[in-house]
Amino acid sequence: MSKDNNKLIGNLNNDKRMILILR
């Protein structure tokens, strides 16, 4: 479970970076 949660958090962080880059 913890590994899956870490993956979800990592994906969210990547999405935030992409949004910042696109802006």
Q: Encode pLDDT of 1-23 as tens digits.
A: 578 888 888 899 999 998 888 87
At 16, which amino acid appears?
K
The torsion angles phi and psi of 10, rounded to 5 degrees, stand at -60, -45
The confidence score (pLDDT) of residue 22 equals 83
The three-class DSSP label of residue 19 is: helix
Give me the long-range contacts of 9-16 (CB less than 8 A, separation at least 24).
Answer: none
The confidence score (pLDDT) of residue 1 equals 57
Integer Cα distance of 10 and 3 in angstroms: 10
Buried b (16+ CB within 10 A) or exposed e, 1-23: eeeeeeeeeeeeeeeeeeeeeee
The confidence score (pLDDT) of residue 8 equals 84
